[in-house]
Structure 1
Amino acid sequence: MTDGRWIDIADGVHARRYGELDLTIGLVLGTRRCLVVDSRGDAVQGAELAAAVRELTVLPWTLVYTHAHFDHCFGTTPFLPCDVWAHEGCAAELAADGENARHLRIASYRAEGKPDIAESLENTTITPPNRLLSTETTLDLGGRTVTLAHPGPAHTGHDLVVHVPDAGVVFAGDTVEHGPHGFTADSFGTDTDLTGWPHALDAILALSPRVVVPGHGDPVDAAYVAKHRDGLVRVVELKGAVEAGELAVDDALDRSPYPADVTRAALAGAATPSPT
């Protein structure tokens, strides 16, 4: 994939796709302001995004973090000053573990042979959100409203989705992922709520979206979300059976709708701490 390409989702609603981590960012335009959904993973990446937004609009911007993982919210400084919305749990996570997460990712990128990204992260300052919500809020962008809503614990305990009702679009962050099999092993981090996740997908489906934009991968439709809601329900059932001693792990892997590595991560209750 060519790094940094815009996809037109609807009139004034765009997604920007990146090869690094297969990341997807959102942009919603009103007549008076615009909303940027996530800010990428470091200050250099954030500057690229800010410049790309300015290619489409000169409107003042507001940011929203879909969750606290580094690739979604560490690139904010080039956008400042502006309002930055997030769930209150996101703010708490960044305050408690943001710096530790940053240093872990610096080490990881160096080990992966990506010193430029590691250096960018070393020179990145984490920006905490300054506008918090616990359930939902509605923003007026001028001629268009968007709703920021917590669908319940899922990929993290503090996920937010961004609903653009007039366009039938939901930016879902990592509550929805569009990998080869829907989810990957890294989808299930130490802060994932496996049991709650299907209910969060139900909350997205209740919005009757025409398009759902995941935090990673290309946009999908409601049928895709429903398929993986059902897949997670099945994995939750298998996990319960394993924990109750009614089913061996190998049998659960055979009965899962997902590959073995994905299922093992879900059954374990947590994968290696997820970067996404």
Structure 2
Amino acid sequence: MSTETVLGYDVFVADPMPMNGSGPLPNGVPRMYQPIAVTLIQGRSDAVLVDPPLTTAQANAVGDWVEATGKRLTHIVATHGHGDHWFTAEMLAERFGAQVVASVGTIQQMHGNLGAREVLWDKMWPGQIPPSPVTAVTVPGDSLDLEGHELNLVEVGHADSEDCTVLHVPDLGLVVAGDVIYNGVHQYLAESPDGDFTAWREAVDAVAALAPRSIVASHQDRTLDDDAPRLITEHRRYLDDAEAALERYDKPVDFFNAMRERYPDFIGTTVLWVSAQALYLAREGGDPVKNLVNAWL
């Protein structure tokens, strides 16, 4: 590690928030979205923000948090295309004069999610999401320099969506994993409609190959630590258990109840129900995009 500057990271976790949808979950609880984690990697004077949040209110809170550090925000990184991790990127970029960056694949996925705002995102949170033009650009070698330290965007392929990356900070032994790794939160399985999580397992293997000490998951239980070996082990186990439950049960509600019973302390049962509906709708065929929208709404 360079001796010229101090490097560290902090995490802001936005609490679960209400969302529109067709009635309560099968267990009777109202629909609530997952917590969203935003990471700030800090040098002595400058900082880089990773995976800005979804709503205007969340972005204002994150912006105040960043401003309180007194650091100059140079870049905002999006690890993947899901709108809950970049729709407020340009809002924050304008506030701090920062540049939004992402990989080629992530930028393509961002355009796809922007196209889905009217039929999905804005129906779940009407009036709460700011204008979200795709202004992200690539950087040479998918690498940023923060006061002499490398921050590398590493492509890992399909996880809970296509074209995912993680941000690797070797000098911290840190991976900011986006949605490739979850931490105490039910995983969004709906975009693996065949119920085969091989590609996601390979993405997790790619993270493990970086040998991180710490992993920040963009959906996390704030009471849990960032210990990388624990997160990797638990994430793999969840995929195994989900695959086994899909093989065992014929109805989405039975899958939902089985996973809740297996992981009683996990946050994010709304996303578990969305995943269950999407996976079982896929078994019946039909348009995959319509299945996803129907699962959410």
State the TM-score, normalizing by the size of structure 1. 0.73
User: The residue matched to 1:174 in structure 2 has which SS?
Assistant: coil
Moved more, 222-231 or 12-21: 222-231
Q: 1:65 aligns with which of 78, 102, 116?
A: 78
Partner residue, 1:88: 104
**Residue pair 2:83, 2:113 contacting (<8 A) in 1 also:** no
Residues 1:79 and 2:80 are matched in the alignment = no
Amino acid at match of 2:190: G
Whether the 8 Å contact between 1:27 and 1:34 is mirrored in structure 2 is yes
1:4 corresponds to = none
User: Which residue does the alignment assign to 1:166?
Assistant: 171
How far apart are residue 233 of structure 1 and its match?
Answer: 4.4
Q: Counterparts of 2:189 and 2:107 in 1: how far apart (Å)?
A: 20
Report the Cα offset of residue 105 of structure 1. 2.4
User: Hey, what does 2:217 align to over in structure 1?
Assistant: 214
In the alignment, which residue of structure 1 is the partner of 2:206? 203
**What is the Cα deviation at residue 264 of structure 1?**
4.2
Output one character per residue of 1:178-201: Cα deviation in whole Å (capped at 9) or x when no partner.
23xx534xx023367732001111
Residue 15 of structure 1 deviates from its aligned partner by 0.6
- SS of 1:84's equivalent in the other structure is strand
One-letter identity of the residue aligned with 1:190: E
Counterpart of 2:231 in structure 1 is 224
Q: Which amino acid aligns with 1:60?
A: L
Mapping of 1:188-199 within 5 angstroms?
188-190=189-191, 194-199=197-202
Given that residues 40 and 49 in structure 2 are in contact (C-alpha distance below 8 angstroms), is that contact kept between their aligned partners in structure 1? yes
Extract unaligned runs of 5+ from structure 1: 1-9, 110-117
Instruction: Write the mapping of 1:28-39 to structure 2, written as runs, cut at 5 A.
Output: 28-31=41-44, 33-39=46-52
Shift of 1:168: 1.4
Report % sequence identity: 22
Q: Could you tell me which runs of 5 or more consecutive residues in structure 2 were left unpaired when the two chains were aligned.
A: 1-5, 17-33, 262-271, 283-287
Q: Using the alignment, how far apart are the partners of 2:239 and 2:278 within structure 1?
A: 9
How many residues align? The count is 242
1:12 alignment counterpart: 8
Task: Tell me if structure 1 keeps the 8 A contact 2:178–2:218.
Answer: yes
Q: Does 1:128 align with 2:129?
A: no
Deviation at 1:91, TM superposition (A): 1.9
Contact 1:64 1:84 in 2 (8 A): yes
Distance 1:198-1:191 versus aligned 2 partners, 3 A rule: closer
2:180 pairs with one of 175, 179, 188: 175
2:245–2:258 Cα contact (<8 Å) kept: no
Change over 3 Å in CA distance of 1:154–1:257 after alignment to 2: farther
Does structure 1 conserve the Cα–Cα contact (< 8 Å) formed by 2:167 and 2:176? yes
Contact 2:54 2:85 in 1 (8 A): yes
Indicate the RMSD between aligned Cα atoms, in angstroms: 3.3
> In the aligned structure 2, how far is the partner of 1:150 from the partner of 1:133?
14
Residue 114 of structure 1: aligned partner: none
What code does the residue aligned with 2:101 have? Answer: W
Distance 1:85 1:249, change over 3 A: same
Please give the alpha-carbon distance, in whole angstroms, between the structure 1 residues aligned to 2:208 and 2:60. Answer: 33
The alpha-carbon distance between structure 1 residues 133 and 159, as it changes in their structure 2 partners (threshold 3 A), is: farther
Any conservation in 1 of the 2:160–2:191 contact (CA below 8 Å)? no
Classify 1:97/1:23 alpha carbon distance in 2 versus 1 (closer, same or farther; 3 Å).
closer
Distance 1:98 1:35 in 2: 23
Check 1:169–1:128 CA distance in 2 against 1; reply closer, same or farther (3 A cut): same
Q: Given the superposition, is the C-alpha separation of residues 130 and 249 from structure 1 closer, same or farther in structure 2, using an over 3 Å criterion?
A: same
Task: Quote the Cα distance in structure 2 between the aligned partners of 1:174 and 1:232.
Answer: 14
Q: Tell me if structure 1 keeps the 8 A contact 2:13–2:35.
A: yes
The answer to whether residue 36 in structure 2 is matched with residue 23 in structure 1 is: yes
Q: 1:64 to 1:234 in 2, by over 3 A?
A: same
Normalising by structure 2, we get a TM-score of: 0.69
Higher strand proportion (structure 1 or 2): 1
2:120 to 83, 99, 104: 104
Picking from 50, 54, 79, the partner of 2:67 is 54
**How far did residue 138 of structure 1 move?**
2.1
> Residues 35-64 of structure 1: CA distance to partner in whole angstroms, max 9, x if unpaired?
100111133432321221011133232011
